[in-house]
Amino acid sequence: MKRASVITLLLLGSLGAFHSARAMDYPLPPQGSRLIGQNQSYVIQEGDKNLQTIARRFNTAAQLILETNNTIAPVYPAPGTTITIPSQMLLPDAPREGIVVNLAELRLYYYPPGENIVQVFPLGIGQLGLETPVSTTRVSQKIPNPTWTPTPGIRARSLAQGIKLPAVVPAGPNNPLGRYALRLGIGNGEYLIHGTSAPDSVGLRVSSGCMRMNAPDIKALFEQVRVGTRVQIINEPVKYSVEPDGRRYVEVHRPLAQVEGENPQTTPIKPSGDFAAFVAQGSDKALVDKALYRRAGIPVLVSNNGSAASSQSVQSVQNSRNAAALAESQKEVAVQ
């Protein structure tokens, strides 16, 4: 699919239409802005298998849907229930270059060089005790059709569960690494961004430290990324922004548990000194505290004048931006 067509699909979705899971391109916001996308509503259908199926349809993570809709059943939400799809977000506070992973929000951001877009993908990450490391590194190798050689630790853990792994798993549809893998230049080369033979694990904290993606997503990323591409892995449950129009937003995700049994909904979050300044310089502290307590995983307006009218004004501005971008993308399609 040509890129202009993908952008068109996304913008149609952001304006209220149902969009494909492959519509993951977001136009970059203006200079000084970090707000992208627009949340959507979806009514759960009788044929929806589970929340993971819905998440894949919208190219997001089930865990993110649960953050935003904290009253629905976590696996099999009832048909007829209207849910919010969290497709609006603040870009991470990191250079808009290469790959940026924010572990706390289970998302990977890719900034294609020379293009005014960002691609956003759901991600599976390392489990408790086998965390994906926070680091800045590079893609050191691209591996099509990877084989999988389980490490001694993985073999021992599997054996403890009664599963004896082979020495090497050949390439193919049953390979845990999927069809494509990007090796990172950290550790001894054991950290990969790869596909998976278990699609329901994407968007969860279940790996041995690698990062898992849906099959179409890793294919799209693999085809674009070059060896040497910058990769920054961060762990920021709280994102915030002062937009060019003065609007102030906070996006709070449940922090990753540090010990077994820890409740990420109630675990204290220790904001940085910069965040304290953000709150003090024009934010409504009551709204900020509410966002920190709720942890809805979507941008929340916390300006001192953050009334319903202000929210409608922001929505109108965002709709205008989306409409303008849609018109531009339709011109590109017409040219092609």
| Highest-confidence segment of 197-206, 218-227, 314-323 | 218-227
Q: Is the predicted pLDDT of residue 44 greater than 90, yes or no?
A: yes
pLDDT one-digit tens code per residue, 47-69 = 998 999 999 999 999 999 999 99
Q: Is the predicted pLDDT of residue 3 greater than 60, yes or no?
A: no
The band of 180, judged by pLDDT with boundaries at 50, 70 and 90, is very high
- Strands (E) across the chain are located at 25-27, 35-37, 40-43, 82-85, 88-90, 98-102, 107-111, 117-122, 125-126, 135-144, 180-184, 192-194, 205-207, 211-212, 230-234, 238-242, 248-252, 299-301
19 a catalytic residue: no
pLDDT score, position 134? 97
Please tell me which residue in 11, 66, 89, 210 is annotated as part of the active site.
210
194 a catalytic residue: yes
The band of 195, judged by pLDDT with boundaries at 50, 70 and 90, is very high
Please tell me which residue in 179, 194, 248, 253 is annotated as part of the active site.
194
User: Among the listed ranges 177-186, 268-277, 293-302, which one has the minimum average pLDDT value?
Assistant: 268-277
Element of type H or E holding 219: helix 215-224
Quickly tell me which residue has 């694990």 as its tokens: 201
Q: Is the predicted pLDDT of residue 328 greater than 80, yes or no?
A: no
Mean of pLDDT over the chain: 85
The band of 239, judged by pLDDT with boundaries at 50, 70 and 90, is very high
Contacts of residue 59, defined as CB under 8 A and 6 or more positions apart, other chains included, come to 20, 21, 22, 23, 24, 120, 121, 122, 214, 217
Overall pTM > 0.85: no
Radius of gyration of the chain (CA): 20
